[in-house]
Amino acid sequence: MYIRLEHINKTFGDFKASDDVSFEIEKGKLIGLLGPSGSGKTTILRMLAGLEKQDSGNIYIDGKIVNDLPSNQRGIGFVFQSYALFPYLTVYGNIAYGLKIQKKDKAFITERVHELLELVGLPGLEKRYPDQLSGGQRQRIALARALAPNPELLLLDEPFAAIDAKVRKELRTWLRETIDKIGITSIFVTHDQDEAIEVADEIVITNKGRVEQVGNPAEIYLNPKTPFVAQFIGQSAVIKNIGQLKGFENVNGKTQAVIRPEFIEINKFSDDGHHDFESAMEDGIVSEVLFRGNNFEVIVDIGKTTLTGRFPLGGQTLKKGDSVKVLIHKLYTFDDNTTEIVENSALEDNNLYYI
Amino acid sequence: MADVNKTHAQKADGISTKVLKSGIISWIVVIAVWGLGSLGYDEYFLPSPYQTLNNAIELIQNGTLWADIAASISRVLRGWLLAVVAGVPLGLAVGSFRPVRWLVEPILSFFRFVPAIALTTLFLMWFGVGDESKVALIMYASFFPIFVNTIAGVASTDQSLVEAASCMGAKKAIVFFTVTVPSAISNIYTGIRLGLSSSIICVIAAEMLVGSDGLGYLINSSKLYYKTGWAFAGIVTLAVIGFVADRLLQLIGKKSLKHFGVK
């Protein structure tokens, strides 16, 4: 493995920022460190860069232990959340900074700066100062500057946090493409799961200083390994007492569950006729309908529980206060330590009956 | 609505606004009040603006005013530049090493409240009655604002810039010259400007106490000759010199140090 973290611990005063963190990264992969704020993801990034030192544990880059290597010898490109461009240097001066430290000759530097500005899509801006650039442009220049000295590893701390939503989406795609072009191993920190899922090859989920799960986005979405991941990923509603839900009366002792929008089906019946599985459906009242472009997002109250589901366009229309029937296909039950998928038993019974 | 507001804000100032902003009206009012007030008193107590102008012309014609201006400016420049040369590097060094800062800070906060004037007697004893003691006093007076602001400038360096430089391979010494010093420039500049005004205050006080030339001497000696108008001419000249010097510094700062955060 190209990057390896082994049993890393780090505390700031009473705050445990890293609690026995271990994971590995393959060369050339783009990794998303995802977690809520205060979960220790930025600390991991800063320790990789040598900007913080772990209290215990080992960090390997390309097979070598780098524990005692200061940040100026680690060969790392770091893109800061606040860009951290030198305000008193031009774009040229900023990108050339690392190259001048490497004592490259002037012709080489000019050529390299030009090449990087082409790469980040901002040719001709050499003479501008950072305060003459937009947020998105500054972020691109910050990336160009980090890449200029040809680092082994690129680290990005919440690279899009300070950029407005529309530009952020463009930049995400652009970052993915740019990193693919260069093929550099990269790690970025984010608290936005859409960003992680869309951009990363692999996601490392952190919570309270621990690594909860490592895997590709689909794996994490479909098979959350811990209660935290089950709740954190997707648009999840947490149910406190699943025994009250039809079809989940006899679940393995666990009382809590996570239900995602795609797990439920919302029906509105206009007649009194017979409908399959109607006995397995919960009665609900629509409390909100939001148009989401390709469908409606519907918020339904079932007794004291609130669930979010989807409703297709084109057929019946739903409005606030409508009575609906809700079929819960499955859910993730969890207790303090484990999580598992449970299917609706009423559906299985009915299936047997019809066979 | 937003657009309407924008055009209002962008609209060029009218002539009346321009005149108001330039301060001309304020000056006309001040001079008028002065002139009216002087009608009630004789020339020895409160000379009129016109009499002051005549006195100034008299002083210019006999060469005294130029000589005094030259003497004062030369002292200010020597003392102030010495303070810059000493205060900036020392401030950078003290600001960069925290233990040194801890050592220096208590002494600093003690001497900050000892005005230069209080040291005049000592300086006269140590450096004699000539220019040296005055230059030393001016240096003392302008050293503190420069030194203190330089330390503050170093302390205010954005740590993420230091980290960015470090990640790109910069060793400590390079970080110092390429990040710490440029980051401190805005504060250093403020210190230098404050130092200049301290210098001017100090030179007048020193010249009033001892010596035989300079604007301070001119103002102080006017009482000996019953020439109150000379004192007024000296005071106005002083104000003009201070104003012009500060504006000049401001202009230089705005033009050449814009990207270092000087506003």
pLDDT over 70 (residue A13): yes
Q: How far is B102 from chain A (nearest CA, A)?
A: 23
Token look-up 């499955």 returns A330
* SS3 per residue for chain A: CCEEEEEEEEEECCEEEEEEEEEEECCCCEEEEECCCCCCHHHHHHHHHCCCCCCEEEEEECCEECCCCCHHHCCEEEEECCECCCCCCCHHHHHHHHHHHCCCCHHHHHHHHHHHHHHCCCCCCCCCCHHHCCHHHHHHHHHHHHHCCCCCEEEEECCCCCCCHHHHHHHHHHHHHHHHHHCCEEEEEECCHHHHHHHCCEEEEEECCEEEEEECHHHHHHCCCCHHHHHHCCCCEEECCHHHCCCCCCCCCCCEEEECHHHEEEECCCCCCCCCCHHHCEEEEEEEEEECCCEEEEEEEECCEEEEEEEECCCCCCCCCCEEEEEECEEEEECCCCEEEEECHHHHHHHHHHC
Average pLDDT (A27-54) is 94
- Signed CA dihedral, A235, A241, A246, A247: sign only: positive
Q: Would the CB atoms of B169 and A102 count as touching at under 8 Å?
A: yes
Average pLDDT (A215-221) is 91
Average pLDDT (A130-145) is 93
Domain ranges across chain B:
62-260
In the numeric block, which tokens belong to residue A344? Answer: 């609706």
For the structural domain made of B62-260, what CATH number should be given?
Answer: 1.10.3720.10
Q: How far is A89 from chain B (nearest CA, A)?
A: 8
Q: Would the CB atoms of A74 and B167 count as touching at under 8 Å?
A: yes
Per-residue model confidence as pLDDT tens digits over B49-105: 999 899 899 999 998 899 999 999 999 999 999 999 999 999 999 999 888 888 888
Contact residues on chain B for A87, CB-CB shorter than 8 A: 259-261
Token look-up 């510094």 returns B249
pLDDT for A349 equals 58
Lowest mean pLDDT among A192-206, A261-275, B196-210: A261-275
pLDDT for B3 equals 43
The pLDDT-based confidence of A272 (bands split at 50, 70, 90) is low
pLDDT for A126 equals 94
The pLDDT-based confidence of A19 (bands split at 50, 70, 90) is very high
Interface size between A and B, measured as CB pairs under 8 A: 67
The pLDDT-based confidence of B43 (bands split at 50, 70, 90) is confident
Nearest to B167 among A71, A88, A102 (CB): A71
Interface test with A, best of B167, B180, B187, B262 (most A CBs within 10 A): B167
Interface test with B, best of A97, A129, A131, A152 (most B CBs within 10 A): A97
Average pLDDT (A160-168) is 81
pLDDT for A354 equals 44
pLDDT for A355 equals 39
The pLDDT-based confidence of B16 (bands split at 50, 70, 90) is confident
Per-residue model confidence as pLDDT tens digits over A296-318: 899 999 888 888 899 888 878 88
Q: Would the CB atoms of B170 and A72 count as touching at under 8 Å?
A: yes
In chain A, the percentage of residues whose pLDDT exceeds 70 is: 96
Q: How far is B258 from chain A (nearest CA, A)?
A: 8
The pLDDT-based confidence of A30 (bands split at 50, 70, 90) is very high
The full set of domains in chain A, from first to last, is: 3-224 (3.40.50.300), 235-347 (2.40.50.140)
Average pLDDT (A59-64) is 93
